[in-house]
Copies of this chain bind each other. A is one copy, B any other.
């Protein structure tokens, strides 16, 4: 972060990311390594400008549309912040306040809200097989509407969390690792434990662990996915992680032993999630409107969770990691902190408190990652725009 804009420009000049122009962001593993690096680098570059009080308002007007199908604070604020940083006003599509349920198609709604939309950010992570598919339908719709001349611009999609991946989280997290380890090259051969942890609630999204193994497996890291038996994640993503690990010179293994995962780990990422299979069943039950079935499933899952209360991160567990209590601990927040927010939870308060600042820094990357995704989709020559912003040097806050 002590770098100059020129340092970031030098990096960008060596990367090929021209296909991101007028594109969308669904899944990290659909992007090339250069494209992923471009997102990290533009995120840091935008932050570098903002820290110098230089405005990065590249839009004089325009809308960022947000569509959240689940409650959200931090993702909502991250998206708002990113839009604002670039000059876009945010308009929420609140499906409850709208006529969307009225029987109209996704294509129609997507077109109707996009006449002046430059960005559409969607969070839809609840139902397996649905969220990512929905995003594709939206993108197909606005692409067609743009080609048919109904829209004057094709809004770019930012996946703010789907059933498969959580790319803004995964890239914010991996950028945090890069910062903490002083560069991507230093992460090669480092061991990360992406581990399940006990939570008294159930049904937490799979997109975080899937996103983490999806990104870390291509960074040459030794990725260990740990969870109790029965808490398997989506098989397709496991396949992606295996393939990428082989290509990147890292490794990908799965264990049902939390200690094995933590042993000598350079980074630990313990977090609760729901079994993929159970989420498939739940999606099916919701589709049928089978409330009794949903209630029964919830009971069963909570009971299953309760069998794994020992999957908690405490100081003893941290001590077996590479740097003991100081090993990089990550979490997308909010965490279930034992004794604070719940009786039994993912992590003990002493471990959490020791790493609180780092996690807040980790989170602070997200607005910049989102802004970088938008930036790379909107400009044929992002480097030229970064240079122009610095040269013009418009103050963000008047001085």
Contacts and interface: CB of A to CB of B under 8 A. Distances in A.
A398 B367 contact: no
Interface residues of A, number: 76
Given A112-B363, A113-B77, A63 B84 contact: yes
A50 interface: yes
Identical subunits present: 3
Interface in A374-391: 378-379, 385, 388-389
A116 B367 contact: yes
Nearest to A363: B112
Given A91-B77, A102-B341, A360 B72 contact: no
A152 B51 contact: yes
A57 interface: yes
Interface in A34-85: 47, 50-51, 55-63, 68, 71-74, 76-78, 80-81, 84-85
Interface string A75-110: 011101100110101110100011110111100110
Contacts of A109: 73
A104 B61 contact: no
A289 to B, nearest CB: 19
B105 A340 contact: yes
Interface string A15-50: 000000000000000000000000000000001001
Contact of A151 (B47, B78, B364): B364
Contact of A396 (B60, B112, B113, B340): B60
Contacts of A364: 115, 150-151
Contacts of A87: 61
A148 interface: yes
A395 interface: yes
Contacts of A90: 89, 91
A267 to B, nearest CB: 19
A246 interface: no
A154 to B, nearest CB: 12
A76 B379 CA distance: 29
Given A72-B98, A78-B115, A97-B71, A62 B397 contact: yes
A103 B87 CA distance: 33
A116 B60 contact: no
A148 to B, nearest CB: 5
A188 to B, nearest CB: 27
A145 B71 contact: no
A111 interface: yes
A380 to B, nearest CB: 9
Contacts of A287: none
B145 A333 contact: no
A309 interface: no
A98 B85 contact: no
Nearest to A200: B103
A72 B357 CA distance: 35
A219 to B, nearest CB: 24
A118 interface: yes
Nearest to A58: B398
Contacts of A366: 115
Contacts of A74: 99, 112-113
Contacts of A385: 398
Given A73-B113, A109-B73, A150-B361, A334 B99 contact: yes
A336 interface: yes
Given A63-B81, A73-B112, 8 more contacts: A47-B152, A59-B396, A62-B84, A71-B98, A77-B91, A104-B334, A115-B364, A150-B357
